Structure 1
């Protein structure tokens, strides 16, 4: 499978800006994480990136390169901005495509996997006449991973673990869509995260809530944008299947913002 991976913007084009974050940097960080997971964990995957550093590259250069290479899929990584209030995740295929198209099927699969892990509200699967969707000779998808000018979404974006989870969501979607096979050495540790809080008291309330459902959890502390952040962990597993079973139990306890992170060991 040949994936053309396109971190949006770059160089003289910063993309959206907000809450101290430049979109071009965020897009590149997520895309590099996607490439690293795919090339280390899956067989027969070839990834070419429109940029792997902070450089200016036109939309025409990107699509021409993907077409000349003969990519099987074009994936463009972006983040949104609007009015500071809008928030959530959405993705796009070209407006000329029907819901019965192969590209729409890929979109549905990838969208579902990303929504499992990104802790963002679901703005849906959409269609637009964007250049990278119109001028590509292969199926193409553009993902918008939150609103950079929204404080809720930007707080997540600032967290490297969140960016890793989002990258993993993209990879999981691609793996299902293209039936990719894991390498024998792709062992990962899957952690179930049952929410995060700026207040340690609120974190303790979440621990108590899950404890009432006989789910063992503990609090881990990190710093995001200079502020303490208390994350609730509900176990770590070598099997993703076991992690997903635990995630189901946590969500069954009323924790809708729970998700799985994966880290190669």
Structure 2
């Protein structure tokens, strides 16, 4: 199954900013981690990204690339901003679609899986006439992963563990939508304070993620499965 990952903004277009963060950096971090999870942990996933570095890509270039590649699902990753008081997670599909459409079903699945992982307030599922939702020939969803100008949401965005959890929620939802199957390699599942933050094939990766988050958790567990 072909999954097109679209980290919003980039290059000369930083997107929203706040609390020392720029949207283009947060979205790229989430998308790269999603890509890593999908390719390492699922057998029948093929991915393509609109950008893998901090470069400028127009909206038309993004949708043209996804359409010509023949993607089965387009997922655009963003963060939100308002006035410093709004907070939480929401996602969008094209406003011309009905609630009975397959895309709407995919939205409900992905929304539920992301909310399980990201620890953000649930702002609901919405529709909009965004270019990347309107001009894509495949099922498309745009996720708004917190408000970068809100102090609590942005604090989460600065955490590698939160980036991992958010990416994992997206990947889990995508897998359910497209019927992806887990590969047969043994994985080491890492949980911190009761929440899974990753599943790794290499022992060194397990040790690295625990080390990177050493000051941010009270309990950690490793399960080989």
Tell whether the 8 Å contact from 2:192 to 2:217 is kept in structure 1 after alignment: no
**Who is 1:178 aligned against?**
178
Tell me the distance in 1 between the aligned counterparts of 2:218 and 2:106.
33
Larger radius of gyration between Structure 1 and Structure 2: 1
**Who is 2:223 aligned against?**
237
Cα distance 1:167–1:186, how it changes in 2: closer, same or farther (>3 A)?
A: farther
Cα distance 1:45–1:186, how it changes in 2: closer, same or farther (>3 A)?
A: farther
Tell whether the 8 Å contact from 1:193 to 1:232 is kept in structure 2 after alignment: yes
Tell whether the 8 Å contact from 1:221 to 1:230 is kept in structure 2 after alignment: no
**Who is 2:18 aligned against?**
18
Matches within 5 A, 1:58-77: 58-77=58-77
SS of equivalent residue, structure 1 residue 117 = helix
> 1:54-80: CA deviations, max 9, x gaps?
110100010011111110000000000
Matches within 5 A, 1:200-239: 230-233=216-219, 235-239=221-225
Cα distance 1:229–1:153, how it changes in 2: closer, same or farther (>3 A)?
A: farther
TM-score of the aligned structures, taking structure 2 as reference length: 0.89
> 1:106-141: CA deviations, max 9, x gaps?
010011000001010000011000000000000000
Aligned residues: 211
Show structure 1 runs of 5+ residues with no match: 196-219, 240-265
Higher relative contact order (Cα pairs below 8 Å, separated by 6+ residues):
2
Note the C-alpha offset of 1:154. 0.5
> 1:74-119: CA deviations, max 9, x gaps?
0000000001010000000000111110000001001100000101
Show structure 2 runs of 5+ residues with no match: 196-209
Note the C-alpha offset of 1:236. 3.6
- Alignment root-mean-square deviation, CA: 1.9
Tell me the distance in 2 between the aligned counterparts of 1:19 and 1:30.
18
Note the C-alpha offset of 1:192. 4.4
Cα distance 1:85–1:66, how it changes in 2: closer, same or farther (>3 A)?
A: same
Matches within 5 A, 1:87-236: 87-185=87-185, 187-194=187-194, 230-233=216-219, 235-236=221-222
Tell me the distance in 1 between the aligned counterparts of 2:219 and 2:83.
33
Tell whether the 8 Å contact from 1:133 to 1:141 is kept in structure 2 after alignment: yes
SS of equivalent residue, structure 1 residue 13 = coil
**Who is 2:53 aligned against?**
53
TM-score of the aligned structures, taking structure 1 as reference length: 0.76
**Who is 2:41 aligned against?**
41
Tell whether the 8 Å contact from 1:73 to 1:138 is kept in structure 2 after alignment: yes
Tell whether the 8 Å contact from 1:73 to 1:139 is kept in structure 2 after alignment: yes
